[in-house]
Amino acid sequence: MRIYNVLLLLSIFLIFNMGGVFAAGPETNYTNDSDFDKGNLTGLEHNSTHNQLQLSNSSSSTNPFIWVPNSNEGTVSKINTVTGMEVARYKTSNLTYSNPSRTTVDLEGNCWVGNRNIGTVVKIGLLESGQWIDRNQNGVVDTCRDVDGNGLINSTEILPWGMDECVLWEVVLIPGSEGNFVPGKYNGSYVNDYYTPGPRGLAIDSKNNLWVGTYGTMKYYYVNGSDGQILKTIDVSSVGHTPYGAVIDQNGILWSSGNTGNNVLRLDPSNGTFTRINLPHKSYGLALDRNNHLFVSGLDYYAITCINVLNGTILWTKSASYAQGITVSDDGDIWTADNTKGTVTRYSNNGIFKATIIVGNSPSGVSVDNLGKIWAVDTNDEYIHRINPANDQTDGEGNIVNGVEFSKRIVGGTHYGYSDMTGALSNTITTNHGSWDLIHDSGINNALWGVISWNAYIPNGTSVNVRVRSSNDKITWSNWEEAINGEYLNSTPNGRYLEVETTLERFKGSVSPVLYDLSVRVLKSDINILNGINNSVPKLGDTIKLVTVLTNVGPDSAHNITVVANIPPGFKPLIPSIGVLNGTVWTIKTLIPGEIARLEIVGNITQNLTSKNITYSANETHSEYDSKTNPPSTIKFYVPFSDVKLDYSLKNGKPTLMVRNIGPDDAFNINVKTSIPSGYTPKTLGGTYKGGTWIITSIPSNGTVTMTLVPLAGNKTHNTSNPSSPGHHGSINNPHEVNNQNSTQVNASSSSQTRKASSVPMQQTGVPINFSAIAILFMFFAAYLNKNDNEIRPNKWLILFVVLFLALLCMGNVGAADTTYTTDEDFSKGTFNNVNGSDGSLKLDNSSNAARNYIWIPNSNEGTISKVNVKTGQEVARYKTNPASNAEPVRIAVDSQGNCWAANRVTGSLIKIGLYENGVYYDLNHDGIIQTCHDVDKNGIITPDEVLNWGSDECVTLETIIIPGKEGVFHPGSYDGAYAAYGTGLTSLALDNKDNVWLGIGENQTLMYINGSSGEILNSYNVTAYGHSPNFSVIDKNGILWSGGSNLLRLDPSTGSLSVMDMGYTIFDLAYDGDDHIFSYGVHPHILWPDSRFSRINIENNTVDWTQSLPYMHAGSLAVNSNGDVWLAQYYNHWWWGKYTAFGVYSHDGVLKSDVISSTSPFGLFFDSYGKLWIMDLDGEYIHRFDTSINGVDLSKRLVSTNHNALGYCSVKSPDK
């Protein structure tokens, strides 16, 4: 056999037998780039120098959260900066007028917030880092959570003041009442004064303590970051400084803006000295870069000043926008918030204008998140906005086009805040801080954790710290323990998983600490157990000593050692050298490395132990991990027993001596002493006679050997009487003797008496192979035996046997009953997984279906479809619908399985995209790997390099060509004909209850019925004679297709009958209420004053209930929610009256309930399966999620480089539909 065939067989066999592989194990050393990548790196990198970790030179925060003050309601919201979800909201007092403003984040990710009106600061712990206090001792954290996972915190999810265990400390700064308090325990009175004491400036130092500046009392308080205790107070009133904002530079100097005094304060915490530096403008916001620059925003002075923090000199002052909050990004650019224009302005590091980004209503503050993106918070509305600095496309006036990639509504809150809301400054400038967070899997439940050790370079002014915590399920974690390099952990409880957080910090200078490697191991003690015996071939009457010896070969001490001994009957243990023996259980509390423990057991070999296998075994266990799994140590020995009888007789007149073994075991080395009378010679059948001794090597159980005396020639007087008769010895002179044993019983006890050899325990050293693995090995071995030079030809009979064997092995018990499962009761006998049994059938359970979590957005300008997570707003995939970017997918529909159909208006093609999460894809190249678009970097934005070429994405499962004469179904990319260039093209799309497709073609006035599984065209209806050009369609509860266009067409698929209604206007969109009514919406033409029309149609009697005229000249779309209200997109753009964008909410009877001002160009409307309304922008990149319960947008998502001139059923139906 050629070597590659051997390797093939060996590889396949090993694959089947490898089993699970732990990513880590009981002991692991992390030292390479790939090792470090197994954890989460924040503020650290290994690219500048490989195979080690060092601080990255980034201005980004280390945690994916921004803490936004809701100044109007006395709360702080924690927002995930990656997903935009509001994950928690905390009260900062029991007073709604507390007016929280400045938030700053410490080195552990906790938030400090200043309540301007009531004179307090509050610390809020980062739950994700275990920063909470179990005040009620119930073992769980009582804190605010987004219980329903919708990314919005409602009032029922917020805990009362003093009840949230993540709200750690309240520090009162009211003169005469200063102190630290458990939240809710302060019994004094609060002030209600905007200015006095008025905590404003908050900054974190390199020791993770807090500096707080108070505006009215002109003091700086130094507060312990752990417990809120006020450590010292510095009065700065002597220089007339009113603290308004604060930062601490990389040299430890505190800088404070003075606002009203047109100055900044330089305070040296090391000695408490301070100086005032006057500015040519008001000082408002402060920001630092890595080049020892302090930037001061001048608010209504329209200026920015740059100061050298090393010597306090002013480097430059330049004109700027109305600059309020200010920050610096990774590239050194300066960003300011302008609340007068609703913009954020970007400058170079030397103050040169670069761009303006329109964000919202009165942004007050800006901050940099952990991905380097800029966040702006609005003062006069509920929104915050995320800006991607990488987007630099500008219009002619220097405004960034669509610079905001994400907007988030924090319901009920307005946000006056502009300090270090993400911790970017405290973690990268004040203290350059980075962390590596790793979850190490030992593979052992309840593992005992041992030693954490690392090698690092730690220059002066830097540190490397490691802390750990354990868990068995990665859900419930222990408290953190600070690890000491190379020493045993002492408070971390048992657990399979160990989270290891390694923090590198630089307090001053520019040299980074370096982590070279880190080792994690569980407690490990290797106990060798050895059993011995003093005589392995004992005989009756011998004294036997059995010995068990334990040796701890380390590396750690062993604890709670238990040895269970299986002691033979009649044997008694002696007192062990270490530990306690209770019956047959030997326990030892501790055995240190190198220590030996010994237990002896003695006993006599008595009659009842003979002819038996005697077993002595000892099984040892201990608490620590042992890399060698010791089987029970066993000694076996056998005490044979033989019963030898000696008989005399005459056979054929000849004296015969017969030795019989009537015992259960063979007899060995039997010596019979006898004298041979003269005139005779012995003839033996077994053994030999020599020198008066008959030597017999062995006699089997129930065996016999004989010696016959044969007369010599001439001896004619031999005795024929019984030689054993009393008194008759004749010439047999010596009675027999058998080895000093009784003549009637001989215990075989000579040197070769042992019939069965003792058993020595064998340690398994090979790979364990199960039955299926053996079968697979045999199959390939059979292939080898039947090989020829060019191929492996399997033995078909053996393979058939192996297949049957494996099938039986996998099947388990199979019932023999022939049963048909057809009723709900039958279905209930099984387990439902994402389906439910009702009405005698199984249906996909949309309440748990993954399809509920996604919407499909047509990007009509670029020929793609975006898949968006409805909960987070993240774009998770984007798919091409045609090789041409101008295909214009303008109608889509989602089936009950969550798969998306898209109609390409221009190219005349229809495609189906499978929902990857439900396993719908086609492995076109049969490589077992699904090639499809993914959000590789998990940033919620699909970039061009993540979108696969047409025909390459295996979730795009089929293409149906609709072009006359070219109709057919193709795998995407396999159609080699020309596409159409329609003007009207494919214009309507709907799915029936079989998930089959109804397609309307405006180009040739045709309706087609298409198989939803195969894409095959099943039927076609030309409706030219009815004057109908399809534009949008719905299917009612009776299966009737209603098509809107130049008129309203009704098609009954069961009979093929068609009829039309003239509505008096061109129908642009239809919506169905799920019951008895359809709503239509369209444009009524007029030369000067066109308007829109809105009608309700009764499907039972085919009549129009009513029609309303709406003063909007452009038709958008409409959608009906579960309570019957109708939502209309209203895009008004009149040559005289100008532009107006909104959407109206109408009752089921057509009564206007409200108008909601919307985005720039609302067009497509639809409800997702959770009841949220989504709006697609016609002329912009955005989609918006509208929560009808709060009557407002709670999320806006930018789909980069797209617009959405499209309508459709973009979501799977909700469960109640």
**pLDDT single digits (tens) 796-818:** 555 555 555 555 544 444 333 45
Q: What confidence tens digit (pLDDT) does each residue in 104-162 have?
A: 999 889 999 999 999 999 999 999 888 999 999 998 999 999 998 888 999 999 999 99
Among 14-23, 232-241, 608-617, the range with the most confident prediction by mean pLDDT is 232-241
**Is-contact 717 771, C-beta < 8 A?**
no
pLDDT of residue 810: 46
Average pLDDT, the chain: 83
Question: Helix, strand, or coil here: 157?
Answer: helix
Residue 772: pLDDT band (50, 70, 90) is: very low
Q: Which of 60-74, 310-324, 863-877 has the lowest mean pLDDT?
A: 60-74
pLDDT confidence of residue 768: 37
- Mention every residue, 6+ apart, whose C-beta is less than 8 A from residue 656: 648, 649, 650, 706, 707, 708, 709
Helices (H) and strands (E) in the chain, counts: 6, 86
Both tokens of residue 916?
A: 């990857």
Q: What's the token pair of residue 537?
A: 């071939």
Q: Where are the beta strands (DSSP E) in 1030-1102?
A: 1030-1035, 1041-1045, 1048-1052, 1057-1061, 1066-1072, 1077-1084, 1091-1098
Q: Distance (Å, rounded) from C-alpha 465 to C-alpha 503?
A: 5
Across the range 599-620, mean pLDDT stands at 84
b vs e for 346-363, b when ≥16 Cβ sit within 10 Å of the residue's Cβ?
bbebebeeebbbbbbebb
For residue 1194, name the pLDDT band (cuts at 50, 70, 90): confident
What element of type H or E holds 5?
Answer: helix 3-17
**Lowest pLDDT segment from 272-281, 359-368, 1069-1078, 1127-1136:** 1127-1136
CATH class for the domain made up of 525-638: mainly beta
Residue 154 burial (10 A CB sphere; 0-12, 13-18, 19+): middle
User: In the Cβ-directed half-sphere of 69, how many Cα atoms lie within 13 Å?
Assistant: 36
Residue 1087's pLDDT band, with cuts at 50, 70 and 90, is: low
Ranges of H-type helices in 50-172: none
Query: What topology is assigned to 644-738 in CATH?
Result: Immunoglobulin-like (2.60.40)
Q: Which residue has the higher pLDDT, 684 or 60?
A: 684
Task: Determine the Cα–Cα distance for residues 1160 and 1141; give it in Å rounded to an integer.
Answer: 6
The yes-or-no verdict on residue 989 having pLDDT over 80 is yes
Domain chopping of the chain, boundaries: 27-59+432-522, 63-235, 525-638, 644-738, 771-811
- Write down the residue that tokens 């996604």 correspond to: 854
Higher model confidence: residue 846 or residue 521?
Answer: 521
Per-residue pLDDT, 749: 30
CATH topology identical between 27-59+432-522 and 525-638: no
Q: Quick one: pLDDT band at residue 1157, thresholds 50, 70, 90?
A: low
CATH 2.60.120.1020 fits 27-59+432-522, yes or no: yes
Mean pLDDT on 537-542 = 80
User: Where do we find the tokens 């008129």?
Assistant: 1047
Q: What is the DSSP letter of 460?
A: T
Neighbouring residues of 1183: CB distance < 8 A, sequence distance ≥ 6: 857, 868, 1174, 1175, 1176, 1177, 1196, 1197, 1199, 1204
**How many whole angstroms separate alpha carbon 462 and alpha carbon 510?**
10
CB 443 within 8 A of CB 487: no
pLDDT at 1025 over 90: yes
CATH architecture under which domain 63-235 falls? Beta Barrel (2.40)
pLDDT at 1128 over 90: no
Distance CA 1058, CA 1037 (A): 17
Q: Say how many C-beta atoms besides its own lie within 10 A of residue 931's C-beta.
A: 15
DSSP 350: T
Q: Residue 576: pLDDT band by 50, 70, 90 thresholds?
A: confident
Single pTM value for the model: 0.59
Does residue 355 have a pLDDT over 90? Answer: no
